[in-house]
Amino acid sequence: MTATDRAGAVIGWGRMRSEVRVRRGRATSTGAPWRSIASRTWKWALSVTVLVVVLLVEYGFLHGRIAADVAELTADDLRAPRADVAVLPLPAAPAPGSAGDVATVEVRALGPCSPLGSCAVRVHVGLLPRAGPVSVRWNAHIEDVCSGAKATVLGGSVIVPAHADRADVVDRLALPAGSALAVTAVTTSPAVAASPPLWVPVRPSCSSRR
């Protein structure tokens, strides 16, 4: 083999080694993205697993407490004295809610009221406007729905001018004794009409009479 042939063989061997290194480098660079994706997928799956485990542990610790709270609320609701409200007798309306020129009647307490006390009230009478002045008179009808006792307390009167559509009066009522007083404002002029009842006390009950 001549010197030239030996030089060519050395160059050829060097090229083969270079090509092998290039191919190995390409194979390594091609596999790197797949390893990166696999690593991210494994971390994501681990995070989801940890979250599920934490939620299951919290549910295990809190489930008993939540069930106990719900049971306590249900027991309180069952112990609440709602039966008195359900069986509380309703007073008979002494008059219709509207009549003639009286469109509506309302009575409201201006402060705390209690049986055997003085009760400040506002009486509102809605009117159909008339061409001349109108005299509005009213009384208070009081009924103890537990005992059936009834009483009438004299109210007052007011003159409203022509074309007026309302009359508002502030007065004080002396209330009788009773467990559940239904106070109703009843107009006697210009027509007979009654308001919905005002309850005294605010949460009446007949349980004390059983």
Q: What is the pLDDT of residue 173?
A: 92
Give pLDDT tens digits for 12-22.
545 555 554 54
User: In this predicted structure, what is the pLDDT of residue 2?
Assistant: 55
Comparing 196 with 35, the larger pLDDT belongs to: 196
Same domain, 29 and 72: yes
pLDDT 10s digits, 180-190:
999 999 999 99
Task: Indicate the number of domains in the chain.
Answer: 2
The answer to whether residues 206 and 145 touch, using CB atoms and an 8 Å cutoff, is yes
Alpha-carbon separation of residue 141 from 16, 44, 193 (angstroms): 118, 76, 12
Read off the pLDDT of residues 136-172 as tens digits, 9 standing for 90 and up.
Answer: 999 999 999 988 899 999 988 999 999 999 999 999 9
* Same domain flag for 8 and 108: no
Looking at residue 205, its pLDDT comes to 79
Whether residue 203 sits in one domain with residue 100: yes
Higher pLDDT, 41 or 148: 148
| Same-domain check for residues 112 and 189 | yes
Structural domain of 121: 91-209
Distance CA 107, CA 97 (A): 12
Regarding whether 123 and 38 lie in a shared domain, the answer is no
Residues 102 and 39 occupy one common structural domain:
no
Residue 86 lies in a domain: no
* 138 and 62 together in one domain: no
Range with the poorest average pLDDT among 53-62, 157-166, 195-204: 53-62
177 Cβ contact list (under 8 Å, min separation 6): 115, 116, 144
Over residues 84-140, the pLDDT tens digits come to: 444 677 888 899 999 999 999 999 999 999 999 999 999 999 999 999 999 999 999
| pLDDT for 197 beyond 60 | yes
Beta-bridged to residue 107, according to DSSP, are: 123
> What's the pLDDT band for 193 if we cut at 50, 70, 90?
very high
